[in-house]
Each structure stands twice: as structure tokens, then as C-alpha cells.
Structure 1
Amino acid sequence: PVRLVSNWLDGVEVRPGEVVLCENVRFNHGEKANENDLARRMAALCDVFVMDAFGTAHRAQASTHGVARFAPIACAGPLLGGELDALTKALEDPKRPMCAIVGGSKVSTKLLVLESLYEVVDQLIPGGGIANTFIAAAGHAVGQSLYEPALLDTARQLLDRAAAAGKEIPIPTDVIVAKEVSSTAKARVTRVDSVASDELILDIGPESALRLAKQLSCAGTILWNGPVGVFELDPFAAGTGTIGRAIADSCAFSIAGGGDTLAAVDKYNLGEKISYVSTGGGAFLEFLEGKTLPAVEILESRANG
């Protein structure tokens, strides 16, 4: 068995060949504040610090950033290296055409992702609540659907820029609607311009799903972040399932990342057929936004002397 060590900052006695598990770093005072004293104590415990947690690489904390400053040797582990290689390949030297699916509930939480990806992709596919805002921006009523009126102008600007540049931000032509969000809801397929005032858009329709699947089959690179519907509930799962299977069946270099996306990958058993499944949530998004990840930046700084 692997031994758990609760109080490890003053050192741990380890037998030859033994592996021990140290208690969660979040319990240490000064962890989130990236305090130097704590980072130095951590660094004093090791000869080599290996940063292999891509999912926390966007956090400048004592166990991700500070310890790498003070450890005798600091380097990236295989998972972190693999994540950076895959994302860099997709963003800096993508095989064309490049498609990105960006789903989620709100444009505001992924606005930087949408704007950053717009610059590099050929096709930007909004999904979920984000798509509802674009549907409304295109002039369609969305009933009681989740969308963001304050960002309609932003969505319109992206649509106009895409049209002028010969890029595409496809808006669904049909959607699946219901009057409640539940597994027993009575769902119906309707044209995107025929959503009733008391209905919610909860998935893309079969026509839209098949059209997008056909486009994805011709892609050279695909980035997938976020479902296109409320896939957790069967009445609204078909769109995400169709898109996910199209990505998996494509010959494109494909990356999937983000918590909801990974849940969809698991639900439809797609993991073996997607080129790279990222372990990052916030780190994945910040990399897509073009931000520098603090834990990576310090390793690069150490490597460059």
C-alpha cells in the first residue's frame, strides 16, 4: 500500500523503493498566494521537481509555480509536455481546414476563446447557450432560451467579420425545443425561426447536426470545447452525439478538452478515436485564449537560464 503523509513540509522519511502520497497541497497556508517561504520549503524536499499537472498550469501557486523557481532542477513531465505539443500543433501549424466547436452556457465566459479562435480557424461552430446568443444575433426569436442580450452586438460583429473574411460561423437551421429542462420533457424539432415564446432551445436539430458532421468530416484540424446541447438528458443528447461521433470518425487531428466535453467523450465512448483528449479545464481555455500559463512560463524561464 501507498502511505499517506499528512505533515510533510518538514521532510518525509522514505524507504528505498517506497512511494508515499503527501497530503493535498491546498491545505498548506500560503499555497494559493504563492508565498515564497512555502515554495522554498517544498523545493527543499526534492532534487528534481517535475510539473506534470496541466490542469493546474494556469494557476500561479506555490505547488505549481513557486516550487519550480526554487527547486534544484525543474522540468515538465510527459503529460504536460504532451498537452503543450498537441495544442501547439493545433494552433500554430494546423492542417486546413480548421474547425473549432465552442459550446457552453454563456458567451461571456468564452468570449476571449471565441475571439482568439476566430483568428486562426476557418469555421467556428458555437454550441449550447452560446449558440442561442448567435441565433438571437441573427434575428431569430429564442423564446425562454438561455442567451445574453448584452452580447448580441458582439455576436453580430463576429458574424459580420466572418462573412467579410470568407469564414463561417454556422447558425442552426433547426433546433430541438421543449418547455422544460428535464429527462421527461416533451421535445420537438422545429425550424430555428419558429421557436415559440414559451419554449427553450436545448439542442441543435438533426438537419443541422448532419450538416455540421459532414463539414467536420472534411476538416484537417478540429478543436472541441463544449457540447452543443444539454447532452446529459436523453431528449437533448442527439446533437452532441452526432458531432462527437463525426469528430471521432474524421481523419482530422482532433483535440477535445474541458469538463463537459470530457463527460460527452465518455458518454459516447469516443476517447480512443480522438487524437488527443486534454486533461485541462481552465488551463485548456486559457491556452486557447492565447494566455501564458504561469507554471509553463517558469519552466521555460529556468530552461533558458
Structure 2
Amino acid sequence: MPKKTIKNLGDIQGKKVIIRVDFNVPMDKKTGVITNDRRIRAAIPTLKYLLEAGASVIAMSHIGRPSGDPAKDAILKTDGVAKRLSELLGVPVKKAGDTVVGPAVTAAAAALQPGHVLMLENLRFDPREQKNDPEFAQQIAQLGDIYVNDAFGTCHNDKDASMVAVPKAMAPKPRVVGFLVAKELEVIDGLMAHPKRPMLAVMGGAKVSDKIAFINVLLTKVDHLLIGGKMAYTFLKARGVDVGSTRVADEELTAAGPLLQYVGNKISLPIDYVTAKSDDLNTTQVVEGNIPVGFEGVDIGPKTLANYSAEIAKSATVIWNGPVGWFEQPAFSKGTRGVGEAMANSHAVTIIGGGETAEAIEQFGLDSKITHVSTGGGAFLAYVEGKKFASLAQIDEV
């Protein structure tokens, strides 16, 4: 059944809305400066809708993986995202305090006026968040009148109290999804149920083992699958190609084994690749066949890019997850950029499966030319695989 959205709420004037957002943004590890605010920007339509309808908002999110050391974890406080959120919304965003819950937070929430925003501290500063702790959840639940899930990137985290135990504790109060999550579910459901054909997938990234279930699902849906990134060298090595100094773990070879039967028909591998010397990345060469000793694969080669671009051009639906090269290094970004440009210039329905691929597309300035850029890497993979999310099970159905 479809999930209720914020548009199903009716009159929310004066209501306090607890909203789980995904503000787990990349930051400079030394200064804490936000280096990419895409996830914050993605939540703005939902937040503006709630505020303009006369509600007040209590926003909560996790950031990073706190170590438990206050000094080291200082950059993971939500002060920075609260400041950036305030700039994007054009309204003050008050920080609730130094703890996720407690008397100060309860008082701040009680004093919250319509049109105002309160930001809770990093949820993971409290160890009960990742234990689905009911007491912790109840302390958050009592702060508001309505629960909104607009954090698709964490929808698969079924042990997070903010995703599961909090909405469970808020029943029978309204529990809905925001515009971001609603769009993600609509796009992915439509993509898997009624795709325009031919349907093409591009898979990159490092580990086959992490994406084996996703790849198996794709093989039942797509007409063709193009492989790039570090996982390409796993397939090549499994087929007897010498991959030089490119590291391929034994468990990756095991994971790739059952998929080799599709190579050459439904799965295409790179026919050439950019390689770099392991101890001198400035020494590169384009290789076909075996990679020389001392060199490792860092990007797809020009012939492969031309072939992949041609496949994209003749497809009606293209789904892409995982960079096809070491795009963070400008010298090794041509493959990832080229695939992105081919998608941006195509007439296909184009879907980016979140994570590093989404970051790359935005870095190259191509995101506005893509049909849909998902905000959730792991959540995107899990949802396509058909996994049921306990977080979404808590949301009211239409």
C-alpha cells in the first residue's frame, strides 16, 4: 500500500513536527566545514512546506560515526548543519543543546513557536540510537505531534531508534513521509515495475560482494549490464586476465564466479583501462589485456568509454551505481565523467543510485540533467533488492 505523505496531514497549524532527515554530509575532517550540502538541500522542500503550513519543526539526524571521545567528535556536532540549514531556509534554526534528549531539549521543544526550527544534537552521540532503545525513543516521541520520515538514505537502518522506535512510539499520532522519501519510492517502484526499454545498468565501485544481491536483481530486469570501477578487475582476474598490482581479494573472486556465465552476452567488461604505477601515479598507460607488474587499474579506457557511451545512447532507461574509475583524482576521472555526460546527453530515463556516484555527478555539474539522483546509496541498493524496511513499516498507509 502507498504511504501517507505530508500532503495527507490536513491542518497542521501550531503542530510540532518531528522530522528525521539525513544530514550525514561530508565534512573536512580537521575543520568540520561541510564540503557538500546536497543532502541538506534535498530536505528543503519538505521543511518549507511544513513551516509555511504553520507547523514548527524538530529536525534530527546522525552525522558520521562518533568514537565516544568528545574532543575527536566535536566536529560531528550538528551546529554546522543547523547553520547551513538556517541559511538555506532563511529562518533561524536553534540548536537544542549538547545532548540528544533531556530537560533542556524538552524545554526547547515546548517553547518552539510556529514557523521555527529546532535541531537536535547528533543522534549517534547517544548509544541508544543504534539499539532501537524504546526509552530513548519515547523521550524523542514526546516532543512532537507528528512524525515525518524524510531520510531515505537511512531507511534501511532498521536498528536506528529515530527510524523505527520513534515512529512506533508515536502511534496513533500521524506518521508520514516527506517529499524526498515519497519521490524516491515512486521513482524506484516505477523503475523496477514498468521500465522503458531497452533498459541498461552501469555498475562500478570496489566490491562485487557488497553488491552481489543487487547485481542478481538487475540481471533479471535489465537488458544489458556494463561493469566498471575496481570490481571490473575482479571479473577480469576471474577470467584469467593478469591485473598487475591491482588488489583483488579472494572473497571478491568467489562472489564474481557465478556471474561469469553472463559475461560476453548480458554483462560487458572493459576492453581497455587506464593504469597507473603503484608507487608513482603520474606514470600511466592505457592497457588492453594483461596489466603489467607494478601497475594497477584506475579508470576505464577510451575504447571502453566509447562503447559504454554508445550503449547508453541507444537505451531508454539507464540506472547507474558506482563510479567507473578513481574519479576523485582528476587524471583518472575521464571514465566517470564520460559516463555521466553520456547519460546527461541521452533521451533516456536516467537514474543515479546515490552514494559516490551522486557526488561525482554533482561534482561534474551534470546532476540537473539527470532524471533522478537518489539520496541513498545503501538504501537504494537494498530497496531495489526487494528488502522490506522496518522504518517504512511504521509509516501510515493511504
Same fold (TM over 0.5): yes
**What residue in structure 2 maps to residue 48 of structure 1?**
146
Q: For each residue in 1:281-300, what CA deviation from the matched residue of structure 2 results, as whole angstroms up to 9, or x when unmatched? A: 2212211222122211221x
How far residue 181 of structure 1 moved from its aligned partner, in angstroms, is 7.0
Counterpart among 205, 209, 221 of residue 108 in structure 1 = 209
**1:81 to partner: Cα distance:** 0.3
Which of residues 185, 189, 192 is equivalent to 2:282?
185
Asked if 1:64 is matched to 2:160, the reply is: no
**In structure 2, C-alpha distance between the alignment counterparts of 1:150 and 1:28, rounded to whole Å:** 35
CA positional deviation for 1:40: 2.2
Which of 243, 247, 266 is 2:343 aligned to?
A: 247
**Residue equivalent to 2:397:** 303
Q: Which segment drifts farther, 41-50 or 270-279?
A: 41-50
The match for 1:210 among 302, 306, 318 is: 306
Q: Write the mapping of 1:1-305 to structure 2, written as runs, cut at 5 A.
A: 1-6=92-97, 7-9=104-106, 11-60=109-158, 61-71=160-170, 72-161=173-262, 167-180=265-278, 184-191=281-288, 193-299=289-395, 302-303=396-397
Task: Decide whether the 8 Å contact of 1:8 with 1:23 is kept in 2.
Answer: no
Paired with 1:149 and 1:87, the residues of 2 have a C-alpha distance of 33
Match of 2:49 in 1: none
For structure 2, the 5+ residue unaligned runs are: 1-91, 98-103
Tell me which of the two structures has the higher relative contact order, counting C-alpha pairs closer than 8 angstroms and 6 or more residues apart.
1
- Match of 2:162, SS state, is helix
AA aligned opposite 1:303: E
CA deviation map 1:167-189 (0-9, x unaligned): 5210111111121276x522111
CA shift at 1:269, angstroms?
A: 0.8
Q: Using a 3 Å threshold, how does the CA distance of structure 1 residues 21 and 154 change in structure 2: closer, same or farther? A: closer
Contact 1:256 1:262 in 2 (8 A): yes
Q: 1:176 to 1:29 in 2, by over 3 A?
A: closer
SS where residue 191 of structure 2 aligns? helix
In the superposition, the TM-score normalised over structure 1's length comes to: 0.90
| Alignment partners' CA distance in 2, 1:250 and 1:155 | 30
- How far 1:208 sits from its partner (Å)? 0.7
Report the CA distance between 1:76 and its aligned residue. Answer: 0.7
Alignment root-mean-square deviation, CA = 2.0
Indicate the SS of the match to 1:84.
Answer: helix
Residue 229 of structure 1: CA displacement?
Answer: 0.8
Uncovered stretches (5+) of structure 1, i.e. residues with no partner = none
Give 2:161's aligned amino acid.
Answer: A
Secondary structure (helix, strand or coil) at the match of 2:129 reads: coil
One-letter amino acid of the structure 2 residue matched with residue 138 of structure 1: R
Contact 2:219 2:225 in 1 (8 A): yes
Deviating more after overlay: 86-95 vs 21-30: 21-30
Residue type of the alignment partner of 2:316: G
Q: Secondary structure at the match of 1:64?
A: coil
The structural deviation recorded for 1:156 is: 3.9
Counterpart CA distance in 1 for 2:333 and 2:146 is 46
C-alpha distance in 1 between matches for 2:115 and 2:106: 21
Change (3 A) 1:181 1:65: farther
Contact 1:133 1:149 (C-alpha < 8 Å) held by counterparts: no
1:15 partner letter: Q
CA contact (8 A) 2:228 2:270 kept: no
Pick closer, same or farther for the CA change 1:17–1:274 going to 2, 3 Å: closer
CA distance in 2, matches of 1:253, 1:99: 10
Q: How many residues align?
A: 297
| Whole-angstrom distance in 2 between the partners of 1:108 and 1:154 | 5
